[in-house]
Structure 1
Amino acid sequence: MSVPDNNSVKLSSSNKSSRQRRKNKDKPSLSPDPNSKHMPKNHKYPALSSSLELEGIQIPPRTPRGGYGSDDADAIDEVELSLLNENERRAAAAGGMDSPPSKSKHGVSAKDKRGMALLVVLYLIQGVPLGLALGSVPFLLREHLSYSQLGTFALAQYPYSLKLLWSPIIDSCFFSGVGRRKSWIIPMQLIIGTLMLWIANNVEVLLETPAENINKLTFIFTSLVFLSATQDIAVDGWALTLLSHENLSYASTCQTIGLNTGYFASFTVFLALNSEAFASKYGFPVLSLSSYLKFWTVVCYSVTVWLLFAKKEDKPSADDEDMDLVKVYRVIWRICKLPHVQSLLLLHFVAKVGFQANEGVTSLKLVEKGLGREDLSIAVLIDFPCQILAGYLTARWSMGDKPLRPWLAAGWVRLGFAAIWTIIVAKFPGPTIGYSYFAFLVAMTVLQGFSNTIQFVGISAFHTRISDPLIGGTYMTLLNTFTNLGGTWPRYFVLKGVDFFTVATCKISEGGSETILEASECVSDLGKAHCADLGGTCVTERDGYYIVSVVCVVLGVIILSSFAAPTARRLQALPTSKWRVASAGGL
């Protein structure tokens, strides 16, 4: 079916004379009365596209336009309205597809509740390996590696930021009998559980000499993150169909709860239970990394078996089965050519530069200055339920037509916290801190975490709103890839920059005289041990952390004020139809 060109329709309509329309005014009309209460004069309603989908067209106002009189304008209205069938007119009266999703009057259905619970569990399994690779393992390695070596291990998080390269395979290749998303979720979770079991049986050997095994450790955890990223592609796509349209914004809440629970369990909870000081203080047995990994292996296997035999996935539609691999890559290219998509991807690529020194180095610096790992774990553990609450409140805040508004507001807050934490590190009193100072650190951690969650949920709600369900996994992954990449690519340079700008020397006193040696690495415990073997002490004359932190904050302020804020306001004002695949040229 071909769609009439609007201009030709309007011109042919305008050729009707007023006398002809007066002659036929008593005949029944196929078009609804524009003045009817069911058809507001100035509402927006859908029109037909080449794929028979609806897009937005605005009813012309009842005022003279160009050389047409008011009677001609009425005729144009009638012809435009006649392009819609009865169901489409009713949809038009309700506000069309470009209206922001509204909350269901009947609340969250039982089906949606079950879907939300499933999403939380799947994101939880995904968060456990990420908490290990991006959280606890770098802390365990910090005592033995320099910041440059930690920068090498930080490459393990790159698969999560490059998911787009293989996401079309996940979207287009599947077994209909198993399910479009289950075809990937089930094998990925089985392999994740098996790899965690292998790490559990070999972790003691790997961590005995981490400097020698840094490349092997990086490869192992890069593989683990790659598997989690692949599972994430399928789960993101499933979220678009697992929940009803009016409750789609809760998908980001499920992601926040699940990912944060898994991440915090593998980061803060594990570090606390793995600390001998924490265990002796509170009477808990020390939890080894091996035992922790074996526990989550059992959980991962159990959920996967339940998915395989107990959870049924809706059969793929005809459109799903028609999405071959080449077509998906072609659609991605068409989407990426859209100017507003390019603006959004560039926004994601630079929006997190200002936070990187704070989020990548501050915690390590606090531990280096004497803050116990168990104290840090308790602070973040208290922060966890606050972030769950923040995710819920932000999801409600992001359900309107301006989901990027909380994202922008929280961006300024995060920059403020990045500057404040730099001052806290500089003024940190030392290993012994009082309860009041610890309470202050906890409050700062909670408030900063609140702003992080607001940004995460806000941008996730925006992605869910604009993604086309036809290629949901790929579309979401395209957007999430650049979101993650914006926080990944600067991290390596930040860690390298700390070592580059740091001036540390090994001072050796012999017979009343002092010898100063420039140490290639006098920051980690290993470097300090080498200096101690020579009878000296490591002295840091200039800490590169402060230089890198100031540079990041200044760049963050410039980017947010001059580019990110105006771009975000412009993008969120676009109608939803502009982000659909059909708008990118169709399939």
Structure 2
Amino acid sequence: MSATRNRSPSEDPPSLRHRSNNANLVVEHHTGQIDMSPLQPLHKKAVSSSLDSIRIAPRVPAGSYSDLEDVELSLLSAEERTSAGRNLQDGDVHSSASGAKTTAMSSRDKKAMSLLIILYLIQGIPLGLALGSVPFILREHLSYSQLGVFALSNYPYSLKLLWSPIVDSTFLPSIGRRKSWIIPMQLIIGSLMLYIASNVGRLMENPADNIYELTFVFTSLVLFSATQDIAVDGWALTLLSQENLSYASTCQTIGLNTGFFASFTVFLALNSEAFAEKWGIPRLELSTYLRFCSLLCFGVTFWLTFFETEGSESLDESEMTVSSVYKTIWNICKLKHVQALIVMHFFAKIGFQANEAVTSLKMIEKGLGREDLAIVVLIDFPFQILGGWFAAKWSSGDKPLRPWIWAFWPRLAFAFLSTLIVYWFPTPPLSYGFFTYLIIHTVLQGLASTIQFVGISAFHTRISDPLIGGTYMTLLNTFTNLGGTWPKYFVLKGVDFFSEAYCEVKEAHSELLVKASECVSERGKEVCLDIDGKCITEHDGYYYVSAICMSFGVLFLVFYIIPTARKLQALPVYRWRISPE
């Protein structure tokens, strides 16, 4: 089913007119047309696959296509702002009229939403393991530098733009454009989880000796999950009807978060010996959980293969070549305002990166139980869902970057407070008062993060050009995700680099002070303990790295992000378009 009705430019009258419905708002002019895509409510990651079935006339301002190559970061003139405001107000009137004609969601769309939630859940399970629970388990045996090596497994999800054109344009028509990739990817994901389950004893018993194999296996797991995500995102565009297309991001949020938290929060709690003993339940082993998830993955794949059909899409072969999609990506990156946006994304998250990568690990090191951390995150989960809904309302105006900019300040403030919490962390057992404060701190910090995510997703949805499908959206989301991924390795390495620890060994009538860099890691501490020594940390690198990150974050926010974001937000939509080949 086509994502939207094909229209010929010859149908458009020469006069200025407006058309709007629940799915989009189109402002048409005799020189072209501007398509402002819907702002998606709960948007965990913007839909990133191709909209090749859409046939839309080129949207460019009056003049030649080559004029777009010289676009600068300039604000709208007063006349343009007045005209745009009048046009949007007129469009709102038509939107209200059409909104009265909306009907209840069809059973077909409800079935499609259920399928999407399940597919995103399968994707979230390995992500929750690789990005959540496994690093916490490994922290007991690895240094922060070694954890930095394992953190490289996060990269495929941030770099899926590199192979998304192949997924979008290569498939077997007999199986289906999206199922050609979803089915094999899920079979590989299930097989990899079975492999890890069968070798978990060898890999996790002494992870320092197997760190590269662990990193390779989980990197592969995330790689195939990211590939499945590309195909599922594209399928969402044709599974749902046009009037309910905005619910694709809602399905993604529910499914992905549910799978992620099952592998992170729920598993960490059930895997804890203290939690199992307290509640009188058997401890959930990693191997058992992985086998269950692999069976779930195989079961859904079997059902998808034999009981779910994929509708055909009308595709133009000339637009489906891999080389043409890569050329489109390059043309987008040549736009000067896109380059400014990429720079902004690439460094925007450094300010709170130490907080996100290390703070939770430091709290566990100070005595916070893994099951306590799981409870905190579990309580935080429903608040983020509600926060995403309200943030979507806030970002629905003509300034979607406003909440994104505003939320930087509380995120930086919470990063500073988190550093203080680690510094003054009380000796266990924790009081109910401190634990309650920790929950409130986590919830508010998560809300600020959710507001930022929804705001930037709304902006990406607004400026992306449907003429070139999801390629534009995938490009923007790639740099957003990469901005939170690439600093993590250097942050974790920096904690060990700035840390100084000594192993103090006391003898009968004297004290022998031995400098040991291995005292930084948990393994080094165990060695020191074996020789009846005590590890003393003179300088904790976490505080140095946290100070560096926050200082850079404040300066970059004030001198680059705020002025650049305001300029980018004020640009008319057509300035983000590229010339068709």
Q: Which TM class, normalised by the smaller chain length? A: 0.7 to 0.9
Aligned equivalents of 1:296, 1:194: Cα separation in 2: 10
* Shift in alpha-carbon separation, 1:116–1:407, aligned structure 2, 3 A: farther
Contact map agreement 2:494 2:545 (CA 8 A) in 1: yes
- What are the equivalent positions in structure 2 for 1:424-463 lying under 5 Å apart? 424-463=421-460
Contact map agreement 2:32 2:58 (CA 8 A) in 1: yes
Question: Secondary structure at 1:45's aligned position in 2?
Answer: strand
Aligned equivalents of 1:320, 1:92: Cα separation in 2: 36
Q: Does 1:106 align with 2:110?
A: no
Question: Which stretch of structure 1 is more off in the superposition, 497-506 or 454-463?
Answer: 454-463
Residue identity in the other structure for 1:156: S
Question: Which stretch of structure 1 is more off in the superposition, 266-275 or 226-235?
Answer: 226-235
Larger radius of gyration: 1
Residue identity in the other structure for 2:118: V
| % identity of equivalent residues | 63
Aligned equivalents of 1:45, 1:566: Cα separation in 2: 30
Aligned equivalents of 2:471, 2:350: Cα separation in 1: 25
| TM superposition score normalised by structure 2 | 0.82
Higher relative contact order (CA 8 A, sep 6+): 2
Q: Does 1:507 align with 2:511?
A: no
Question: Which stretch of structure 1 is more off in the superposition, 569-578 or 358-367?
Answer: 569-578
Aligned equivalents of 1:113, 1:566: Cα separation in 2: 43
Post-superposition CA distance 1:261-302 (Å, at most 9, x none): 111111111010000100111222211111111111122122
* Shift in alpha-carbon separation, 1:176–1:397, aligned structure 2, 3 A: farther
Aligned to 1:586: 580
Question: Secondary structure at 1:541's aligned position in 2?
Answer: strand
Question: Secondary structure at 1:521's aligned position in 2?
Answer: helix
Aligned to 1:187: 184
Q: Does 1:341 align with 2:307?
A: no
Contact map agreement 1:249 1:398 (CA 8 A) in 2: no
Aligned to 1:257: 254
Aligned to 2:283: 286
Question: Which stretch of structure 1 is more off in the superposition, 312-321 or 159-168?
Answer: 312-321
Residue identity in the other structure for 1:356: Q
Residue identity in the other structure for 2:280: G
Aligned equivalents of 1:343, 1:246: Cα separation in 2: 33
Contact map agreement 2:15 2:30 (CA 8 A) in 1: no
Aligned to 1:545: 542
Aligned to 1:269: 266
Aligned equivalents of 1:517, 1:92: Cα separation in 2: 72
* Shift in alpha-carbon separation, 1:355–1:105, aligned structure 2, 3 A: farther
Contact map agreement 1:45 1:57 (CA 8 A) in 2: no
Which of residues 296, 304, 309 in structure 2 aligns to 1:307? 304
Aligned equivalents of 1:52, 1:133: Cα separation in 2: 41
Contact map agreement 1:236 1:473 (CA 8 A) in 2: no
Post-superposition CA distance 1:507-539 (Å, at most 9, x none): 111123211111122133211111122221000
Contact map agreement 1:157 1:225 (CA 8 A) in 2: yes
Q: What CA RMSD, in Å, does the superposition of the two structures yield over aligned residues?
A: 3.2
* Shift in alpha-carbon separation, 1:585–1:246, aligned structure 2, 3 A: same
Question: Which stretch of structure 1 is more off in the superposition, 303-312 or 530-539?
Answer: 303-312
Aligned equivalents of 1:108, 1:418: Cα separation in 2: 44
Contact map agreement 2:18 2:27 (CA 8 A) in 1: no
- What are the equivalent positions in structure 2 for 1:124-523 lying under 5 Å apart? 124-244=121-241, 247-319=244-316, 322-469=319-466, 471-523=468-520
Aligned equivalents of 1:428, 1:92: Cα separation in 2: 53
Q: Which runs of 5+ in 2 are unaligned?
A: 1-8, 20-25, 34-54, 63-86
Contact map agreement 2:18 2:90 (CA 8 A) in 1: no
* Shift in alpha-carbon separation, 1:327–1:535, aligned structure 2, 3 A: same
Question: Secondary structure at 1:153's aligned position in 2?
Answer: helix
Aligned equivalents of 2:104, 2:352: Cα separation in 1: 36
Contact map agreement 1:193 1:301 (CA 8 A) in 2: yes
Question: Which stretch of structure 1 is more off in the superposition, 419-428 or 184-193?
Answer: 184-193
Residue identity in the other structure for 1:347: M
Question: Which stretch of structure 1 is more off in the superposition, 274-283 or 236-245?
Answer: 236-245
Contact map agreement 2:130 2:153 (CA 8 A) in 1: yes
Question: Which stretch of structure 1 is more off in the superposition, 240-249 or 318-327?
Answer: 240-249
Aligned equivalents of 2:191, 2:508: Cα separation in 1: 58
Q: Which runs of 5+ in 1 are unaligned?
A: 5-29, 59-90
Residue identity in the other structure for 1:45: E
> Cα offset for 1:214?
0.5
Aligned equivalents of 2:384, 2:313: Cα separation in 1: 35
> Cα offset for 1:213?
0.4
Post-superposition CA distance 1:307-355 (Å, at most 9, x none): 3233333322233673111111111111111122212221211111011
* Shift in alpha-carbon separation, 1:465–1:315, aligned structure 2, 3 A: farther
Question: Secondary structure at 2:316's aligned position in 1?
Answer: helix
Aligned equivalents of 2:212, 2:367: Cα separation in 1: 28
Aligned equivalents of 1:526, 1:297: Cα separation in 2: 32
Aligned equivalents of 2:465, 2:237: Cα separation in 1: 9
Aligned equivalents of 1:49, 1:31: Cα separation in 2: 11
Which of residues 53, 59, 64 in structure 2 aligns to 1:55? 59
Question: Which stretch of structure 1 is more off in the superposition, 368-377 or 317-326?
Answer: 317-326
Contact map agreement 1:171 1:474 (CA 8 A) in 2: no
> Cα offset for 1:33?
8.4
> Cα offset for 1:104?
7.8
* Shift in alpha-carbon separation, 1:544–1:108, aligned structure 2, 3 A: farther
Question: Which stretch of structure 1 is more off in the superposition, 196-205 or 118-127?
Answer: 118-127
> Cα offset for 1:490?
0.6
Contact map agreement 2:56 2:467 (CA 8 A) in 1: no
Alignment size in residue pairs: 520
Aligned equivalents of 2:335, 2:455: Cα separation in 1: 22
Aligned equivalents of 1:275, 1:497: Cα separation in 2: 29
> Cα offset for 1:476?
2.6
Question: Secondary structure at 2:407's aligned position in 1?
Answer: helix
Aligned equivalents of 2:291, 2:476: Cα separation in 1: 34
Contact map agreement 2:499 2:520 (CA 8 A) in 1: no
Aligned to 1:86: none
